[in-house]
Amino acid sequence: MSIEDNKEVVRRYYEEAFNEGRTDLLEELIAKDVVNHDPLSNETLTPEEARGFEGFVRHVEVAREAFPDATVTIEDVIAEGDEVLVRFTFEGTHEGRFVGIEPTGNRIRGTNMVLMRLEDGKIVERWEESDSLDLLRQLGVLPPAEELARTA
């Protein structure tokens, strides 16, 4: 597969499978033995639930359950060899349990970076970095930075 083909797989994952909730596409885009290195998945799912293809599907389902109106807007895609790096904005309303936090009804918005490795046109490995501190502030679990600074 070419670099452009790999970028297209990642784009389809976010814009079609995730944004549209089309988990039926995941079989086409995700390898059966995919490894998902995502700290939020580890907090949301048991180690058994997070493994392999079924764990990846569950990762998507849990995110969609917690934020049913979630959308990902791709900002940048950079690829080299078998790796694709994507920077995106995530927006959604917290309407379901997420990493142990009961629904708040808060609207959240944040940027994430994900590095994916592909083989034979499928995602085989995924690493995500996000600003979890800002997410917890938006969910109301932590006070705003200004308030923390005043108490420090």
User: What's the whole-model pTM score?
Assistant: 0.87
pLDDT in tens, 102-150: 999 999 999 999 999 999 999 999 998 888 889 989 999 888 777 777 7
CA–CA gap between residue 95 and residue 106 (Å, rounded): 8
pLDDT in tens, 56-92: 888 888 899 999 999 999 999 999 999 999 999 999 9
- Going by their DSSP bridges, the two strands 83-93 and 122-130 should be labelled as unpaired
Return the residue matching tokens 């995602």.
123
Q: What is the DSSP string of 109-132?
A: EEEEEEEEEEETTEEEEEEEEE-H
Per-residue tokens: 134: 């800002």
CA–CA gap between residue 26 and residue 145 (Å, rounded): 38
Per-residue tokens: 113: 């970076």
Write down the pLDDT at residue 51: 72
